[in-house]
Structure 1
Amino acid sequence: MIMNSDYLIVPLLAGFEWFDESLQMSLREAGWPHLTRPESMVMMHVQMNVVRPADIARSLRLTRQAVHSTINSLVERGVFEMADDPTDGRIRIVQLTPMGRAMRQDAQRIVAELTEELGRRIGAKRVKALREAFGSDWGAPILCSLGEPGGRAADFRQTANKNQ
């Protein structure tokens, strides 16, 4: 359910969760293995050709250990395989197995169907506007300053340190 909020991040997250949960339910219905949210996020990165575990970890802002654990789970279930990076033999990259490629094809069909359904629910013009807005170059992330470095957080850290 989409929540009303003045904060854009709330409906962004709710929309992502609608897509991801609908996709995962549909994949399970088609007989594919259940994917956790982290596994789903790693799969999306591989789909976007981010295949080095360190790059996936950096993009998701997770530890390399967490990403390796997630990748290993997908390797054990036959979705991924590890291969030598053709540009640097010291590095291993993630590749989809034949099963993983078939799962990706089904996922692509499901996402297309979900997009069509979203168009019926909120209107094709709104879906087009979402594509345009999210497909635009937003530029690099920015730093919003709230005043002095450390600001109010420094006060709370000092209080927490005194209480220890």
Structure 2
Amino acid sequence: MNHSLLMVNILQAFYWFDEALQAAMKAQGVTSLNRTQSLVLSVIANGEHRASRIARQLGISRQAINQVLNSLNALGIIVSRPDPKDSRALLVEFSEEAAVLREVGIKALQRIENELAGRIGADKVDGLREALAVEWGPPPT
């Protein structure tokens, strides 16, 4: 019976995914990004475009997300604009120039997931995805 802490296992799994993603991007000759930048881009690629929600999903401050978004904007990877529904909010998306980066990243993540399914079983990957997608409610105190 494995008594390791789930939190540590989840963190190690995240690092495994990120290292595989970084290696895939490097192999394709795509811009090298730091871990925070690649995580923010993954959230955007997953469909979230509001800066405040990206920050909330990643558990970082609005100031921190603005720094990351500014760095990605300076690299020409994303563009930002005011939300037409809320002028105080900022929407971000991949720039036209980053289409190759986005496509390479998404395909790499799909290959990584397929590799994981081959290693541990598709049923376990599906179960993991389902378990992590369930609303867990607020953290216990």
Bucket of the pairwise TM-score, normalised by the shorter protein: 0.7 to 0.9
How far residue 133 of structure 1 moved from its aligned partner, in angstroms, is 2.3
Partner of 1:98: 96
3-state DSSP of counterpart to 2:13: helix
3-state DSSP of counterpart to 2:76: coil
Q: Deviations over 1:6-36 (max 9, x none)?
A: 2111111111111111011111221111111
Contact 1:80 1:100 (C-alpha < 8 Å) held by counterparts: yes
Q: Any residues of structure 2 matched to 1:1-164 within 5 Å, and which? A: 6-135=4-133, 137-144=134-141
Cα separation, partners in 2 of 1:60 and 1:127, compared to 1, 3 Å? closer
Identity over aligned pairs, percent: 33
Which stretch of structure 1 is more off in the superposition, 8-17 or 123-132?
A: 123-132
- Greater length-normalized contact order (CA 8 Å, ≥ 6 residues apart): 2
Q: Tell me which amino acid in the other structure corresponds to 1:127.
A: V
Unmatched 5+ residue regions in structure 1? 145-164
How far residue 90 of structure 1 moved from its aligned partner, in angstroms, is 4.0
Q: Tell me which amino acid in the other structure corresponds to 1:133.
A: A
RMSD, matched Cα:
2.0
Q: TM-score, normalised by structure 1?
A: 0.75
User: Which one has the largest radius of gyration?
Assistant: 1
Following the alignment from structure 1 to structure 2, what is the Cα–Cα distance between the partners of residues 139 and 65? 26
Q: Tell me which amino acid in the other structure corresponds to 2:33.
A: L
3-state DSSP of counterpart to 2:92: strand
How many residues end up aligned between the 2 structures?
140
Contact 1:5 1:11 (C-alpha < 8 Å) held by counterparts: no
Q: TM-score, normalised by structure 2?
A: 0.85
How far residue 5 of structure 1 moved from its aligned partner, in angstroms, is 5.2
